[in-house]
Amino acid sequence: MDDPQWKAPTEDGQILIWPPPDQILEQTGRNNRLLSEAKSPIQGVALSALRQRQRQWLGHERADRPIIATGHQSELYHPGVWAKNILIDLVAQRLGGDGVHVAVDSDEPKHLNVRWPGGSEPLTDDPQLSTAAWSGLLEGPTPAYLDHIEGHLRRSAQGWGFASTMMIWPFLQSMRKLAMESAGLSAGLINAMHQLDWELGLKHHALAASPVWESAPYLLFVHHLMAMAGEFATQYNGALADYRTREGIANPGRPMPDLKLESQRCESPFWVDDMKSGLRRRAMLQWERDRWVLHHDGNEFAFDPHKAGWSAADELIDWLRAARVRLSPRALMLTTYLRLMVADQFVHGIGGGMYDRVADDLIVRTFGIEPPKFAVTTATLHFPLAVGRSRACLPCIRQEGHRLRHGVLGEEKMEMVRKIDELPRKSMERSALFSAMHRRLDESARNEEIVRWEERYRQAQVADVEDQDIFNRELFYALQPRDRLEALIGKYQQTFAF
C-alpha cells in the first residue's frame, strides 16, 4: 500500500475520501474475490469458510453481495466520524450491497457527554458513567433526565436562528422512547442514531458488536490465535516495530504497546471481561502441559492447536458461558477481524487508517495473504455559529505586540543592545544598562499604538474562548441543522456521479 498523508479538512463543509471513489468500487470487488478464495487455515478451517460462516451468522447469505462496513465506539461522534456512514451507504448503493455500521459497545465509555457552546450534559444519569469498564454496562437515561438535557440545551439555543432544525431534537425524542423500554445506554444510542440516519436517507444497517464476540466463528478465530499465542505475539510485535521504524516513532507505546512475551507467559490482544463483576483485564496466558492456558477465577481453559476447528470453538463457548466470561478484541484485532471475516470494504477514519497499516502487516505475517484494501474518509462541519467567522490568531497578535514593544525605541534600543554586548558579562555596568533599557521599554508601553494593540489583544482573548466551542469539529453531529447534514451527504453524492 502507498503511504498517503491524510489530513482532516480545515474548511467547513469539506471532505476527504481516499482512495478516489472509482478505486473504492473496484477494490471492493477485488477484496471479495481475495477473501472468498483465501485458504489460510484457522484452527483447521479455511479462512474463506470461516468468513462465510460469520457472514451467514449475520444473516448475509449471498457471498457475491458485498458488505461495506465501518465501525466506531458506541458514543456521540462528530460529523467527521458520521461521514463514514455516508460513504458506506453510497458504496453499497452503487454495488448492490449492504452498508453496516458496527457499534462497538464492548469498548471503554468515551465521548458520552452532549456538549454544545455554552453547555454540556452527560447523556445518561447512570452513576457508573465514569467507572464502567465497557459502555455496554451502562444504563440508559431516565425520561426525566432526558427532559433535563433538552431544557438546558433549549435555554442555551435561544437566539440561534437554526435551533429549531437541529437534529438533536428527534435524537432525544428517540432516546426518550427507548428509555421507556428500559434499553441500556448503548442499545438506545445505537438505535436512536440509526433512526436519525434513516431520516436523512442513509439506509445502512446498525450492528452492536458484543453479540459477535459470542459467536462460534469469532471464538474459533480467538481459539486459533490463543493456541499459537507465543508465535502470534512475535508477529504482532514485529508488525508494530516495523511500523514505528517507518513512521520514525521512538515511543514504544505508540500506536499501541507490544504484547508481553516471556518464556512461560504471553499476552494475547483480547480483553477478559468478567460478566459477573463488570471488570476486565488483559488476556494473559500461561504455558502449561505444552499448551497455552487461560486462568480465570479458579477455572482454566487450555487452547489445543490440534483441536478440530468447530469443536474447539464449541468447547471454548461452553467454558466461557460456565465461567460467565467474554473475550473481547482490543483495537487492532477488532478491525482485523471485521476486515477479514465480515467486510468486503472497510471504511476508516484517519486514525483508524493509520493504525490499520499495522494490521496490514500483521495479516501478511499471520495469515500469509495480501491484506484487503480499506478506505478512509472524514469531513469537517463547524458548528453553525462559526460559519463565515474567522478565528483570531492569538500567537500572531502576541508576536505583533512583541515587535511593537521592541521596535518602538528604534535605533535607541539597537544602540543600547550594542553597548550591553560590549560590556563584560556579569558586570554591574552591563546589568545596570540592561535594566535601563527595559525601563525605557516599559515607558514606551504608554505609546498610543501599543495601547491600541493591548485592547485588540484583550478582545482577541475573549473571542478565542468563544471560538474554542464554536470551532470545535468534534461536537455531536446531531447538533447540526438538517440542511447542513443533507448538504454534506450531497457533497459525497457528487463524488460518485460518474
- pLDDT tens figures, 427-464: 888 888 888 877 776 766 566 777 787 778 787 777 77
Q: How far is CA 23 from CA 26, 339, 371, 379, 496, in A?
A: 5, 17, 16, 19, 11
Residue 486 included in any domain: yes
Contact call for residues 477 and 82 (beta carbons, < 8 A): yes
Averaged confidence pLDDT in the chain: 92
Q: Given the C-alpha cell 471479495, which residue does it identify?
A: 32
Q: Are residues 487 and 423 in the same domain?
A: no
Q: What's the confidence (pLDDT) of residue 160? A: 95
Q: Is the pLDDT of residue 187 over 80?
A: yes
92-101, 217-226, 272-281, 389-398: which range is least confident on average? 389-398
Q: What's the confidence (pLDDT) of residue 445? A: 59
Question: What is d(CA 232, CA 212) in angstroms, rounded to the nearest whole number?
Answer: 22
Residue 222 has a CB neighbour count (10 Å cut-off) of 25
This prediction has a pTM of 0.87
Contact call for residues 148 and 121 (beta carbons, < 8 A): yes
Q: What's the confidence (pLDDT) of residue 2? A: 56
Mean local confidence (pLDDT), 101-124: 95
Question: What is d(CA 483, CA 270) in angstroms, rounded to the nearest whole number?
Answer: 42
183-187, 281-285, 402-406: which range is least confident on average? 402-406
Q: Are residues 463 and 344 in the same domain?
A: no
Give the number of domains in the chain. Answer: 2
243-280 in b/e form (b: 16+ CB < 10 A) is bbeeeeeeeeeebbeebebeeeebbbbbbbbbeeeeeb
Q: Are residues 62 and 111 in the same domain?
A: yes
Residue 316 included in any domain: no
Q: Are residues 465 and 352 in the same domain?
A: no
Residue 186 included in any domain: yes
Q: What's the confidence (pLDDT) of residue 436? A: 82
Residue 340 included in any domain: yes
Q: Is the pLDDT of residue 63 over 90?
A: no
Residue 324 included in any domain: no
Q: Is the pLDDT of residue 418 over 90?
A: no
Mean local confidence (pLDDT), 168-172: 98
Q: What's the confidence (pLDDT) of residue 404? A: 72
Q: Are residues 401 and 380 in the same domain?
A: no
Q: Is the pLDDT of residue 314 over 80?
A: yes
Report how far Cα 468 is from the mean position of its chain's Cα atoms: 21
Q: What's the confidence (pLDDT) of residue 208? A: 97
Exposed/middle/buried for 314, CB within 10 Å: 0-12, 13-18, 19+? Answer: middle
Residue 442 included in any domain: yes
Mean local confidence (pLDDT), 71-84: 97
DSSP annotation of 372: P
Q: Are residues 416 and 362 in the same domain?
A: no
Cβ-proximal residues to 143 (8 Å cutoff; 6+ apart), any chain:
176, 179, 180
Q: Are residues 42 and 109 in the same domain?
A: yes
Contact call for residues 361 and 44 (beta carbons, < 8 A): no
Residue 441 included in any domain: yes
Q: Are residues 89 and 141 in the same domain?
A: yes
Residue 308 included in any domain: no
Q: Are residues 95 and 124 in the same domain?
A: yes
Sign of torsion over alpha carbons 187, 192, 193, 194: positive
Q: Are residues 103 and 50 in the same domain?
A: yes
Question: What is d(CA 333, CA 366) in angstroms, rounded to the nearest whole number?
Answer: 12
CA nearest neighbour of 87 among 197, 177, 190: 197
pLDDT confidence band for 1 (50 / 70 / 90): very low
DSSP annotation of 298: T
pLDDT confidence band for 408 (50 / 70 / 90): low
pLDDT confidence band for 318 (50 / 70 / 90): very high
Q: Are residues 132 and 112 in the same domain?
A: yes
Q: Are residues 62 and 185 in the same domain?
A: yes
* Cis upstream peptide for 255 (omega within 30°): yes
Question: Domain span at residue 131?
Answer: 15-213+334-386+477-495
116-120, 233-237, 414-418: which range is least confident on average? 414-418
